[in-house]
Each structure stands twice: as C-alpha cells, then as structure tokens.
A and B are shown apart, each in its own frame.
Chain A
Amino acid sequence: DAGVIQSPRHEVTEMGQEVTLRCKPISGHNSLFWYRQTMMRGLELLIYFNNNVPIDDSGMPEDRFSAKMPNASFSTLKIQPSEPRDSAVYFCASTSGGRVLGNTIYFGEGSWLTVV
C-alpha cells in the first residue's frame, strides 16, 4: 500500500517567493496533519483536518501560511511570501481515526524547505 506521499521532497527558494507543499494521504484516511520540524522548536503541529474540515489551525505561524484540503486525497500548505525562518522539514501525516483502528498516525517522508 502506498504511504503518505509528499512533494516536493526538497525545495530551495528565494526569500519572498511563494512555496506550495503538497500531500496525498493514505487512501481511506479521514484525518490529515501538517507538522513542521526545526532544530529550535522540534516538531510542531501547524494544522489538522478531519473529513477535509480544518479542526485546529492554532499552530499556523502567521497569515503567510495557509492550508487547504479540497478533497479527501489532497492537501496543500502554502507559504507566501516565504522567509528564511521558514526553513524546516514539513511533514504531512494521516490516519483513519477511530478507536477500533487505533488512531495511529502515519507520516510522509517530509518536504525539506530551504529559504535563502
């Protein structure tokens, strides 16, 4: 079975440019998460969706960040304009939820973003 698929795997961009990260969750999963990992702040939850609806976006740093989930099989995280402090590994993760299925969250391989 395909896991969580993220693209791009690596991106280097100049400050001020728009960055779009993409995620395809595991088929059948109804919850999707975006996490950011940096040396200084560790793993931070940015936003998560249940059934395509944003549930908690309190971790989104500021208005420069936005996330969408137009359907059950696709989500985007957009940064506009990007800044050097946005350099991080961005993880997308998904789960099927529910007590019976255990709520285990599966992660993609991450998108490494460098803003210069």
Chain B
Amino acid sequence: AQTVTQSQPEMSVQEAETVTLSCTYDTSENNYYLFWYKQPPSRQMILVIRQEAYKQQNATENRFSVNFQKAAKSFSLKISDSQLGDTAMYFCAFMKLNYGGATNKLIFGTGTLLAVQP
C-alpha cells in the first residue's frame, strides 16, 4: 500500500521570503502522479502543482515549484516570494497510474499548516 508522509505539521514564513514544505512517500509503483493541494480557511481544495513520475524535469507554476527526487521518494514544494494569501493547509498527494489511463484514487498526507507573516 502507498503512504504519504508530511513531517512538518506547521510552518511559518515571512512575507516575500521562500519556504519549502517536505513530503515523502512510499510505493513500489514506477508510474504515478504526485500533487500538492492547498486548502485555505474556506476549506476548498485547490490544486497547486502536479508532477508526473516519468518526467525528470521538476514542475513549476509561477511562484510554486517542486523538487522531485524519485529515488529518494521525496517531493517537496517551494513557495517563492510568499504572500499573505498563501496562508493555508498544504496537502501532498499520491496517485498510482493505471495502465490504460484509468483513474485511481488520491492518497493524501496529513498536511502542513503554513502561516505567512506580514
């Protein structure tokens, strides 16, 4: 069975600074996706970034980037130029890829609560 571990329950960063959230996962699969979701106080789950395991290049989305280390099973999220609106719970998630492309379920970590301080 796959597991996702986020070892930082809470983190704090000053506005405009850079912060990195950690995520490790355990799987015997070779083909999968990894995701970071953001959950602000409104509780809505918002996709931040996605990484396909078969791609060596790290995904980036504006101020958000990942450091994907497949051998180490590590998938950290870096937020540059932190903004007050980045304050939220961040969840790392894993999805096994079925051959033929059929959807599989997301397995979530326990989350990291990020507070951006003015």
Contact = CB atoms under 8 A, between A and B. Distances in A.
Interface residues of B, number: 24
B101 A98 contact: yes
Contacts of A42: 108, 110-111
A97 B103 contact: yes
Contacts of A113: none
Given A50-B102, A89-B43, A106-B47, 9 more contacts: A33-B105, A43-B108, A48-B103, A93-B106, A103-B97, A103-B101, A107-B44, A109-B44, A110-B43
A100 interface: yes
Interface string A34-52: 0001000011010010100
A105 B106 contact: yes
Nearest to B109: A42
Contacts of B101: 97-100, 103
A53 B97 CA distance: 19
A107 B45 contact: yes
B33 interface: yes
Interface in A80-116: 89, 91, 93, 95, 97-100, 102-107, 109-110, 112
A95 B91 contact: no
Contacts of B62: none
